[in-house]
Structure 1
Amino acid sequence: MTITVPALVTPSAGAAFERTTIERRELGEHDVLLDIAYAGICHSDIHQAREEWGASIFPMVPGHEIAGVVSAVGAGVTKHSVGDRVGVGCFVDSCRECRSCLAGEEQFCERGNVATYNSRYADGSPTYGGYSTQIVVDESYVLAIPDGISLDVAAPLLCAGITTYSPLRHWGAGPGTKVAVVGMGGLGHLAVKIAHALGAEVTVLSHTLSKKDDGLRFGADHYETGDRDTLRRLRGSFDLIINTVSADLPVDAYLRTLALDGTMVFVGAPENKQQFAVFSLIGARRSIAGSNIGGIRETQEMLDFCAQHGIGAEIETITADDVDKAYDRVVGSDVRYRFVIDTATIPA
């Protein structure tokens, strides 16, 4: 038998959210039933709910920053128990057979992973995300949330946290390295916290200085604007740039702030094509790259690291009634720094 669950649903592109119910699948042998406590709002939720990234699947229940408690497990589950604090991130299944999956890089599944929402399971049924009170997920795609992080500030780590942790680890941020974080929003503020905890010297490059006090409090050593005079002064300074913004940038000017063998990594997704000159790279053996989220193993590593270092997202907790307004505020950059829905407010 399926499980009937209260949820927030948007019936069509750009439509207001409605309280209704959805059906979750029956608990299978290796499934975990999670009582959702909090669901973060990611900007990608907005893009997909407003159908800005191509055709979306409606009705839609967004949400891939999910934190809660296990309320039931299938007979064959060994990784989680009733009462465990757990989370679910951006995907809930993958092929488990390709090179990427076998390497623990399920986010790059060669057959395409099954996204937590706006996707389809192997049987063709749609996936519904975390703007709901419960979700059923295979145990292999459920993360343990350590006791050192409260569930509300842990929820955004399941997307924003791993999106920034993964490139920082992959490109070796740590003692003796200089890292620049472009933008200080939902992604950027966690990039600052994590880079600082890894031991790097951290500089924020922001549109304005309005968040300087926050940036320094989060662990930034320096806080600068990204104007051309500043970028010219910072030429050759950084080993790694994490670009978290979705706006167009003067890419060449940023590339020239990299030192020898430095890398600029895009984790934000600008709408337009970005332009750069090859000479900005070959002059100092620089690289330009992109990074996605992380696999299950790395996401668990990130959660453990954040618990060890006391890192959580800076959040504004909202009710189900506030979601439409929160979407507009995210688009207007009016949030410090992540909205999190208290899912107890979803049932009518």
Structure 2
Amino acid sequence: MTSTDYQFEGWMGLDPSAADGKMVWQKFTPKQWEETDIDVKISHCGICGSDEHSLRSSWEWLPTKYPCCAGHEIIGTVVRVGTQVEHGLKIGDRVGVGAQTEACIGRMGYCADCASGNEQYCPRFSTTACGTYINGETAYGGYGLYHRCPGHFAVKIPDGLASHLAAPMLCGGITIYSPLKHHGCGPGKKVGIIGIGGIGHFGVLFARALGAEKVVAISRRSNKKKDAMQLGADLYIATEEEPGWAERHARSLDIIVSTASSANMPLAQYIGLLSTDGTFVQIGLPADGNLAAPLGLLLNRRKVTSSMCGSTDEIRDMLTLATEKDVHPWVQVVPMKNANQALLDTVAGKVRFRYVLEN
């Protein structure tokens, strides 16, 4: 018989001020137990920049229901397993839970996206933290001691991958791995990564691990050049400090993935870096306006597209590659008790490149 005498407690956001370092530690009631669920004793949880937006409820299209618990890069040990959980999960397994906690899988038949393995695009997508399940219950994240979620969205962590390294891969890593893999990053491809931060540094690491011929790191200033080259970039472009960069590197890249979160980026110049049939993928979520596609798309048969996290199968594929290729993200581990300060430091850009909370 499974013991369930544990308490769900965590850092709770009671209102938008939580994003200003005012989360409060308290008990909460998780979603009602279903036999498709698992409970996880949390050992680590990565801090993602989007946690601030969730706590502040700053995305109009994804309002937060308070109280909430942030954190969607969760690693821990399974302590309870429902009778209908698939994928062979059992008590004692080390698992990870990323940004998605539910889709129509197992509830109301498969939509076309779920049937094709693209569950991250399911119209009934539910976020792991600060979100709402299909039945209306609140989804509480990983800034705490325990997490409950549908077992389908938990993946086993390979034995050769440390928990503190795996945690930020579950959102930061997969968000950029998915478009790189989907658009053919590999031998012979020249790849650009815009924004060398929590997600962008994963772009350099995974483009290299996938065997790209050339990896170009792109940022506004040169202060991250040393880091980018150490991560594995072949070239660094500082757009605000190198006059003529757009002309000098025109038509030189096959794939560009942008993590930039401002609509004021020089999009036309970025797209001009693409060769014919090149692909520009926007994964950053601008909160200051909309992106407008420039004329360069029409003239050179280029593509601008988007991408959103990744499916559980893609996460498994990514973790396997990370283990085989010894992908080592830059992580700073901090105690769970310091979550408020770590979040503030993340928003202030003080981390290189990810904080991971540890119980």
| TM-score normalised to structure 1 length | 0.93
Aligned pairs for 1:92-241 (under 5 A) are 92-96=101-105, 97-110=110-123, 112-200=124-212, 201-227=214-240, 228-241=243-256
Are the equivalent residues in 1 in contact too, given 2:143–2:339 (CA < 8 A)?
A: no
The residue aligned with 2:23 is: 17
Deviation at 1:268, TM superposition (A): 0.7
CA contact (8 A) 1:3 1:25 kept: no
**2:316 matched to 1:300?**
yes
CA distance in 1 between partners of 2:201 and 2:133 (Å): 33
Secondary structure of 1:306's partner?
helix
Distance apart, 1:27 and its partner CA:
4.8
Instruction: Give 3-state SS (helix, strand or coil) of 1:4's partner.
Output: coil
Out of 83, 94, 99, the residue aligned to residue 85 of structure 1 is 94
Map 1:51-90 → 2, pairs under 5 A: 51-54=57-60, 55-78=63-86, 79-90=88-99
Alignment length (residue pairs):
341
For 1:76 and 1:265, how far apart are their aligned partners in 2?
37
Query: Does the 8 A contact of 1:266 with 1:290 survive in 2?
Result: yes
Q: What is the distance in 1 between the residues matched to 2:38 and 2:323? A: 23
Match of 1:319 in 2: 335
**Which residue matches 1:254?**
270
Range that drifts further, 20-29 or 46-55: 20-29
1:338 aligns with 2:346: no
Rounded to whole Å, the distance in 2 between the matches of 1:216 and 1:178 is 16
Equivalent AA in structure 1 for residue 347 of structure 2: V
CA contact (8 A) 1:98 1:109 kept: yes
User: How far did residue 75 of structure 1 move?
Assistant: 3.2
Deviations 1:242-293 (A, max 9, x none): 1012122111111111111111110111122123422x11221111111111
Between the aligned partners of 2:343 and 2:148, the Cα distance in structure 1 is 26
Shift of the 22–312 alpha-carbon distance from structure 1 to 2, 3 Å rule, reads: farther
- Contact 2:30–2:139 (CA<8 Å) still a contact in 1? no
Q: Which amino acid aligns with 2:236?
A: Y
Q: Structure 1 segments of 4 or more deviating over 6 A?
A: none
Larger displacement relative to structure 2 (215-224 or 255-264): 215-224
Name stretches of at least 5 consecutive residues in structure 2 with no aligned partner: none
1-structure distance, mates of 2:245, 2:83 = 59
- Aligned identity (percent) is 34
User: Is contact 1:179-1:240 (8 Å) kept?
Assistant: yes
Q: Secondary structure at the match of 2:29?
A: strand
TM-fit CA distance, 1:24: 2.6
* 1:165-209, Cα deviation, whole Å (9 max, x unpaired): 010011101110100001110001000000001111101011222
Of the structure 1 ranges 137-146 and 316-325, higher mean CA displacement relative to structure 2 is found in: 316-325
**Partner AA of 2:121 in structure 1:** F
Counterparts of 1:66 and 1:322 in 2: how far apart (Å)?
17
